[in-house]
Amino acid sequence: MKLSVQQRITSLLMLKLSELPMPKEIEIKFRISELGPLTRRLRAAKFRRVTPRTHEMNTLYDLPGQPLRKRGDLLRLREYGGDWVLTHKAKGKAGRHKTRVELETKVSDGKKMDAILRALGFRPTFRYEKFRAEWTDGGGHVVVDETPIGNFGEIEGTPRWIDHTAKKLGIPPEDYLIDTYAGLFFAWKRRTRSGANEMTFRAIQR
């Protein structure tokens, strides 16, 4: 079967990625009912805030036919404050925690990176927006996300550290979430029958 130019590009990129060291992202999400009490628990657990509440916009890209999504991969361009990061995540392993191979690199010019991806045949498929603050105790990270569909936290580190931190913050294992923000959005969309097609404040507040 003859491969298209885009398919050949994707295959080459995946081959090159497989030759690189494979850092793993291990995390869980959880819903936040109130931000104030969580902030107090973080401080009581000796966490310090390393980044203030910062606006973040994420764009996912794929080729025609969405081969990355079908394979479980993710290609994302993120603007966090004034910084840009390009990230690839492989298909995750679902269990008590979510584990994915993750590679990312800083990008000096996000608009040019978007133009490069489009020139290679990639197109934006989904956008999601939030305000994020990051906390750490030196062993891992807790992020607090204010999104258009509610507030969520993420705990990222080793499995043992995640469970220990969740317990200190009053989050039982049955409250762990291992879905992506895209998955959470489309579940919310089905539940609310919203007409929004992206998880941005403007789309959801219409």
* CB distance 177 to 29 below 8 Å: yes
CB atoms within 10 A of CB 12: 10
Burial 138-158 (b: 16+ CB within 10 A, else e): eebbbbbbbbbbebbbbbbbe
For residue 7, what pLDDT is reported? Answer: 58
Residues paired with 91 in a beta bridge? none
CA atoms within 13 A on the CB side of 14: 14
- SS3 readout for the chain: CCCCHHHHHHHHHHHHHHCCCCCEEEEEEEEECCHHHHHHHHHHCCCEEEEEEEEEEEEEEECCCCHHHHHCCEEEEEEECCEEEEEEECCCEECCCEEEEEEEEEECCHHHHHHHHHHCCCEEEEEEEEEEEEEECCCCEEEEEEECCEEEEEEECCHHHHHHHHHHCCCCHHHCECCCHHHHHHHHHHHHCCCCCCECHHHHCC
Inter-residue contact 72 to 62 (CB < 8 Å):
no
* Residues 6+ positions from 104 with CB-CB distance below 8 Å: 85, 86, 87, 88
Burial class (CB in 10 A: 0-12, 13-18, 19+), 90: buried
Question: What is the structure's pLDDT at 95?
Answer: 83
Extract the tokens encoding 65.
Answer: 């036919």
Tens-place pLDDT, residues 16-27:
554 555 578 899
- Domains of the chain, first to last: 21-204 (2.40.320.10)
Report the pLDDT value the prediction gives residue 93, as an integer from 0 to 100.
77
The pLDDT of residue 18: 47
Low-confidence ranges of the chain (pLDDT < 70): 1-22, 206
**Nearest CA to 77 among 109, 29, 119, 121?**
109
Whether 142 and 164 have beta carbons less than 8 Å apart is answered as: no
